[in-house]
Amino acid sequence: MSGYGRATKVVAAGVHRGARIHARQAVAHGRPAILTDLVVQANRWPADLIGRPAVHVAHGTAEATAIVGDIIAACDEVNELLAFALQR
């Protein structure tokens, strides 16, 4: 499923939970992953992802929402550029 979405947002996850696997797979698929600061503080596994391209740590709902907005805007910009290139 992580390959279908524009991004993966993890708001709660344990060591042996599907959210951990989902976040890792999103990064492997080249998709952005958004981890809440609570997930980062409560687990050791996010340390393997933080610092990789398109992995974000959100400090609260407003920041997570802003990151999602930035991701959507970037995707829309790429789509517009591709549409323009195809018209040529």
Q: Is residue 65 part of a domain?
A: yes
pTM score, whole prediction: 0.81
Estimate the share of the chain in helix, then strand, then coil, as percent rounded to the nearest 5.
Answer: 55, 10, 35
Q: Is residue 68 part of a domain?
A: yes
20 pLDDT tier (thresholds 50, 70, 90): confident
Asked if residue 2 lies in contact with residue 29, where contact means CB atoms within 8 angstroms, the answer is yes
Q: Is residue 70 part of a domain?
A: yes
Q: Is residue 54 part of a domain?
A: yes
Q: Is residue 59 part of a domain?
A: yes
- Name the CA radius of gyration of the chain, rounded: 14
Q: 21-45: per-residue pLDDT in tens?
A: 888 999 998 899 999 999 999 999 9
The pLDDT value given to residue 50: 94
Owner of token pair 């524009």:
6
Q: Is residue 3 part of a domain?
A: no
- Structural domain including 53 reads 8-87
Q: 1-12: per-residue pLDDT in tens?
A: 666 677 888 877
Q: Is residue 63 part of a domain?
A: yes
Distance from the Cα of residue 77 to its chain's centroid:
18
